Amino acid sequence: MTTSDLTASGSARTSPRMIAGFSDYLRIARFDHMTKNVFILPGIALALLLRGNATTEGPLDILWNVVIGFVAAVGVASANYVINEWLDRDFDRFHPEKSQRAAVQRRMFGPLVLLEYLLLLGAGLALASLVNDALFAACLLLAVSGITYNVKPIRTKDRPYLDVLSESINNPIRLLIGWAMVDAGSLPPVSLLLAFWFGGAFLMNSKRLAEYRDIVASDGRETLGLYRRSFRHYSENHLSVANLVHALLCAFFVAIFLIKYRIEYILLFPGIVTLFAVYYALALTPNSVARKPEKLYRARPVILASVATTVLFVFATFADIPALEVLASQHFIETGALHLLPSRP
């Protein structure tokens, strides 16, 4: 198949381009993707548990921070989506689903897209500044992440492996946003930030693995390379090994956090392992929801594993189990007395 054939194939997925309407400009902001902001919730919960006594904020102040902070995060994230869809419009037409996006299907005007981006970004940062400087800085980091991921000459989404790491850094940033809503005077533990980063890398790499398997099977590897340049350097083996690396690094930093800050949280490990296993199985399933992380609420195994892990988290938060302290200290099985045992005849 030649490049011209592929171009024609990509064009065939698009209908005649009509001038975009107001609803099309709303679509590229992807407000339906706000479910990804669920990663803000652990930041709120862990800040309350670990820093609740240190914060000077009252319950009503924290509630205000959470409401305004969520709206601010949605605004900045939607601004990132706007430039994502606009700058990817010539590549998305080679993707089976993304070829139906408004920026591909409709004629949009660059100045209007830029205005939408600036309005959403400005509103998000302005709201964040009403809460505290820490939340403003975290939202600003989210905005910078969107620029480095999408905009040339950096455009990390075109670089193999760096594409996953740069996209998944939004996970610890969202953790920071949630933490700042409760305690603006500290940062989350580095082990927790790194665990969220590599956990997010596992999710994003699984998405790419699912896309690779499905699109190569249906349209060929050449089409996949036209959709995203980084895929030209990937193979199924590369993505599978990367998944293993991200999962191991996430588990390593999770273990550090659990042992240092609350040993009872070690009880969460079976739930965390189950979540990783279930999600990886989804990535290996044709046309699975792993390709659309914003739709994960439709994946029953993921929901069940998430609920079970949440129940374990609540239990471990309120249950003190001194016997588990043995896991955080050195113990050896002494064998020196074995020579005192009677020898066999």
Residue 111 lies in a domain: yes
- Crossing angle of helices 170-182/40-51, nearest 10°? 40
Identity of the amino acid at 205 = N
Q: How many domains does the chain have?
A: 2
- Both tokens of residue 94? 């080679």
Q: Are residues 88 and 60 part of one domain?
A: yes
Same domain? 91 vs 237: no
Are residues 54 and 151 located together in one domain of the fold? yes
Assess whether 93 and 239 both reside in one domain: no
Q: Which two tokens stand for residue 131?
A: 């809460």
User: What is the reported pTM?
Assistant: 0.87
Q: For residue 307, what are the domain limits?
A: 189-319
Cα 311 from Cα 256, distance rounded (Å): 21
Question: Does a structural domain hold residue 341?
Answer: no
Confirm if 50 and 139 have CB atoms less than 8 A apart: no
Tens digits of pLDDT across the chain (345 residues): 444 443 444 444 545 579 988 999 999 999 888 888 888 999 999 999 888 776 777 788 889 999 999 999 999 999 999 999 999 999 989 988 888 889 999 999 999 999 999 999 999 999 999 999 999 999 999 999 999 999 999 999 999 999 999 999 999 999 999 999 999 989 999 999 999 999 999 999 999 999 999 989 888 888 888 888 999 999 999 999 999 999 999 999 999 998 888 889 899 889 999 999 999 999 999 988 888 777 777 788 888 988 999 999 899 988 999 888 888 788 787 776 555 556 665
Question: How many Cβ atoms sit within 10 Å of the Cβ of residue 254?
Answer: 22
Verify that 105 and 211 share a domain, yes or no.
no
State residue 341's pLDDT score. Answer: 58
The CATH number assigned to the domain holding 180 equals 1.10.357.140
**Does 18 fall in a domain?**
yes
Residue 287 φ/ψ region, left for φ over 0, alpha for ψ in the -120 to 50 degree band, beta for the rest: left
Degrees, nearest 5: CA angle 80-160-171: 40
Both tokens of residue 144?
């910078």
Pick left, alpha or beta for residue 234 (phi over 0 → left; psi -120 to 50 → alpha; otherwise beta): beta
Q: Is residue 344 part of a domain?
A: no
Do 276 and 249 belong to one domain?
yes
